[in-house]
Structure 1
Amino acid sequence: MDFLTKVLSNRNVAAAIRRVEDLEEAIRHPNINAIFLLGGDINYLPTLIKRVRAADKVLLTHIDLVEGIGKDRAGIHLIKRMGVQGIVTTKSNLAKFAKEEGLWVVQRLFIVDSESVKTAIRVADNIKPHAVEVLPATIPQYVIQEMRKSLNLPILGGGLLKTEEDVKEALGKGIDAITTSLRHLWNIVL
């Protein structure tokens, strides 16, 4: 699966960064290749992009959470021109625009009940992102199996993971990799 190789470098943990100040630690961390930016504003992006690329790592920007990015085709085009390598979004139209721009696309899906599983599969099947990220990562194994069978995409898991055992359990259920802001979980190599 191209995404797992080219974005995650076949690692099973990606760093989720909520504050710009936390980026440096993720850049220096030897086990982290992909960094998910979950906050900040567009004015910091050019500097962040340069720092991440200089470290030969991949920055995926959660465009729903970064302020100042137009939530439309023009906004996606702008961040592509700025050098963003990929996006994370819950919005299907933004995922579509990003794919058209040649960006890596992670469709974020919130799983709260069996109906949301059906909706998530339908949305992701329609968009065909490079990967999906399910939240929380603690969802039942049958959900992951159903998504894998229906979508044939890498499945990332985020949220509600605190311990190494939590991570092992999520990966054991079939999640390909986890995204986390907890630094002690960045050290896990399985």
Structure 2
Amino acid sequence: MKREEFIGLLKNNRIIAAIKDEEGLEKILASNCQIVFVLFGDIVNLPNIISRIKDCGKTVFVHIDLIDGLASRDVSVNYIARNTCADGIISTRPNIVKCAKEYGLLAVQRFFVLDSIAFDNIEKQVSQNADAIEILPGVMPKIIGRLKESVKKPIIAGGLITDREDIVNALNAGAFAVSLSKWDVWFKNT
């Protein structure tokens, strides 16, 4: 999938399912969510997790920093590219985002906005190679609005989003999409 296709997919699918366990996996297979962030697994079961999701016609991103047996190294990106059918990766590390692009994967760069210093550093740290950025926590409409002005990448809001009001606030503030692990909200909003 090319970056332009991904941006189009984001525009038409504002809810991203973030799955963190087997229960979430089973729920996502039955949902209408078209984009999935995989936040669990290990090097043994990850290819099967991704295949099951892809078999349902969904786009899959793997949070490489959260997979047991993988490290935030180029070899882990190589593993994802060669041994799975994932569309892309998520990482907090610019070098991993760059490496993902070299392997033909899409890349979402994740940032934790804990204070004004972290916010001010996003513009400096965002990789030129990132297809989108994800900011956490996603329940900060003012921050999303300010970030939209300074970073020219699609913004995904994630973390601590629990209901429709959080989703609407993030989208109205300028987020392209929201990622959340609360499966009951996936079904209400897809």
TM-score higher than 0.5: yes
What is the match of residue 93 of structure 2?
91
Structure 2 unaligned blocks of 5 or more: none
* Whole-angstrom CA distance in 1 between matches of 2:153 and 2:24: 29
What are the within-5 Å matches in structure 2 for residues 15-34 of structure 1?
Answer: 15-30=17-32, 32-34=33-35
Residue 129 of structure 1, CA deviation = 0.3
What are the within-5 Å matches in structure 2 for residues 20-169 of structure 1?
Answer: 20-30=22-32, 32-82=33-83, 83-124=85-126, 126-141=127-142, 143-169=143-169
Decide whether the 8 Å contact of 1:37 with 1:62 is kept in 2. yes
- After the TM superposition, which parts of structure 1 deviate over 4 Å for at least 4 consecutive aligned residues? none
Residue 157 of structure 1, CA deviation = 0.5
* Whole-angstrom CA distance in 2 between matches of 1:119 and 1:132: 13
Residue 151 of structure 1, CA deviation = 2.2
Change (3 A) 1:21 1:165: closer
Residue 18 of structure 1, CA deviation = 0.5
* Whole-angstrom CA distance in 2 between matches of 1:22 and 1:115: 34
* Whole-angstrom CA distance in 1 between matches of 2:56 and 2:130: 26
| 1:64 partner SS | helix
How many positions carry a matched residue from both structures? 186
TM-score (norm: length of structure 1): 0.90
Decide whether the 8 Å contact of 1:135 with 1:159 is kept in 2. yes
| 2:12 partner SS | coil
TM-score (norm: length of structure 2): 0.90
- Which of 4, 7, 13 is matched with 1:4 structurally? 7
| CA root-mean-square deviation | 1.8
CA offsets per residue over residues 1-49 of structure 1, 9 Å max, x none? 722324x46111011111134212102202x001111112111112122
Structure 1 unaligned blocks of 5 or more: none
State the one-letter code of the partner of 1:67: D
Decide whether the 8 Å contact of 2:72 with 2:93 is kept in 1. no
CA offsets per residue over residues 55-103 of structure 1, 9 Å max, x none? 1101110010011124211211111012221111111111111111111
Residue 147 of structure 1, CA deviation = 2.2
